A and B are shown apart, each in its own frame.
Chain A
């Protein structure tokens, strides 16, 4: 199913505080979507790696979305607190469940993907050719609304099982 998101509606759904902080609506939505992705993925096979007590998102590189993602800190998912860590490069990234890769870390993509496959980490990005190069979920803008595409092959390589529901919402699925 094709994802259709109307920005104005999305704005209405978000807490007013989001507007008050100088965070763009687009990044707020992307941050919320990122949080929702976690729920539609079966982490059973690969979730033991980080400490069992928390769920970790590592944000690699700098970008405007970072502040929106920061707001996910300590949200609860699968009964664990969500931890958001900002790292400049792959080297400094610790054990994680999700890698959000900013455009600034574009150079490192291949090594990041390699490590992610190895560790079973979900990779999320917002750049062209992200999925083609080996990323799993990539945000795209279609008809002024935020959509996402999924590379199911990569997900399977990383031993992540993506719910059909999530697949149905994606604008494009690479199999």
Chain B
């Protein structure tokens, strides 16, 4: 609301008062000036008339030197109090006769010398000279002096009238403007008040009151109509908002339902995958494990033909295992279930592992492996260590497999500003441009299925996905007939870190045999095949005493009795499962610090993570890979 000083009512009042007073005063002043001019004019003319009569009458006294008569004539002027004096001058301009009212005293105001016809103001008097003529002959002149104090009286009178009229006008206009205020200002103020209320309280239901059928009334009507429209619009908006809210609500519910369904389905899928991997791995475990044991035990006892057959069994089993793993991985990546744990990894570490794992294969294929270790030293990449190794193994094994006889594979790295590019270069056939596009399609081996080279056709597709999952990119260069170079770029790792396990890897329990130190290992496993496999493995290790249990309770009991240096614990135990056993072990003071390695066919990422999170030292997936097994056991037994 505007301040009261600026209110329209006051402004109207002020405007009217100012205007009326201005008009009134200026009119009065103009009239006064006009009136005074008229007054002076008429006074002059009146006096002139009088002077003419006097002049006419005084011609004979002048002509006949009748001074007395002349004075008597002038004395007649006493009947007019306004005349302050009169004088007759003779032809020579010398005073002849004079008149001064009795009460006035001296003749000072009458000039001693006559003038030509003239009138002028002097000291509040009007002087009027006229010649006295007779028959066109000038006999002398007459002077009449008139008081003009009447003018001042009039001015006073006008001033008084002006003040009175102004006050009356002020009063009248004030009344009029108050009246006007009622007709103009009040409706406007009412309207302003209503508008204020509407803006302040956001209440569109109020209506301005209409008082008169004029423009203001029209304004009020229009305002009210506007309010009505706003109200209707608001209502519609509110309704649509509510219905929208409801729709959102419904949609959310539907989505929630859909999400639940999807989650259930996904759960089912995950369970299926887990079960599949478990069910497929368990029998494979037996095949590969015993195949390897037979190879080891019967090396010199059977003839070479059978040896070849045995190794075929192991190789085929391993191939099958790889296939299963890769399929599982690929499906995990594709469904977004591949968990990635990013960390700073020393490239050289991974390269050493890969080179160790690849040595046998390269010897078999007669391919020279050239790891340029100097390019890996002190180079760190930010990635998932396991997946990095997987990607490297895939690329290097591809390099070995699809190479020319006596070819070579070169592995080297280029360290950039904030990324590291790892190259795997082979000297194979290369890939034709046409087929290059199909390179990353799963199960597409680009015709290699006819060459007799083992492969699943998943490796590259999986590698590409894994690299991309680690925020990197995989690319390749190829020249048909000369070879290919597969490369991937990963983010550079932040800081070098000493890895705990590294010190453990120097030496092992087998090297410590000379010390005569003996280790006790407890293996809790219900599956007799696995049990037999591990028992057979440790039979060849003289300084390890293995004790076994086939159920959780029994395992606990044995652990308490024997206090082993290492516990290998199956997770899927009948009755008390492996995790429960681990929990109980943690509650027993002397057993608390014994390293426990989980051995399970549960290969799903979340299962592994869940188990490791509980405090298990390590996790071995079945089927047991003896190399992996040996390394893990070696790590914990050495650290005792």
Contact = CB atoms under 8 A, between A and B. Distances in A.
A99 B135 CA distance: 21
A36 B67 contact: no
Interface stretch (B58-66, B256-264, B390-398, B495-503): B58-66
A36 B72 CA distance: 21
Nearest to A75: B137
A16 to B, nearest CB: 12
Nearest to B135: A39
Interface string B286-304: 0000000000000000000
Nearest to B92: A13
Size category of the A interface is 20 to 34
A9 B67 contact: yes
A10 B62 CA distance: 11
A119 interface: no
A3 B64 CA distance: 8
Interface of B: 57, 59-61, 63-69, 72, 90, 92, 134-135, 137
B135 A4 contact: no
B69 A3 contact: yes
Contacts of B60: 40, 163, 165-166, 168-169
Contact of B90 (A5, A13, A39): A13
25 contacts: A1-B72, A2-B69, A3-B64, A3-B69, A4-B66, A4-B69, A5-B64, A9-B65, A13-B65, A13-B92, A29-B65, A36-B63, A36-B64, A39-B134, A39-B135, A40-B60, A40-B134, A77-B135, A165-B59, A166-B60, A169-B60, A169-B61, A169-B63, A169-B64, A169-B69
A5 B66 contact: yes
Interface string A160-175: 0001011011000000
A165 B139 CA distance: 14
For the complex of A and B, the 4 pairs showing the least CB-CB separation, nearest first, are A165-B60, A4-B68, A36-B63, A39-B135
Given A36-B64, A40-B60, A169-B61, 14 more contacts: A1-B72, A3-B64, A4-B66, A6-B65, A9-B65, A10-B65, A13-B90, A13-B92, A33-B64, A40-B63, A40-B134, A78-B135, A163-B60, A168-B69
B67 A6 contact: yes
A29 B66 CA distance: 12
Interface of A: 1-6, 9-10, 13, 29, 33, 36, 39-40, 77-78, 163, 165-166, 168-169
Contacts of B61: 169
Contacts of A166: 60
A82 B60 CA distance: 21
A82 B72 CA distance: 33
**Most A C-beta atoms less than 10 A away, residue of B57, B64, B134:** B64
B65 A1 contact: no
**Most B C-beta atoms less than 10 A away, residue of A10, A36, A168, A169:** A36
B599 to A, nearest CB: 169
A70 B199 CA distance: 116
A10 B63 CA distance: 11
Contacts of A1: 66, 69, 72
Contacts of B67: 4, 6, 9
A65 B64 CA distance: 18
Nearest to A33: B64
A6 B66 CA distance: 8
Contacts of A39: 63, 134-135, 137
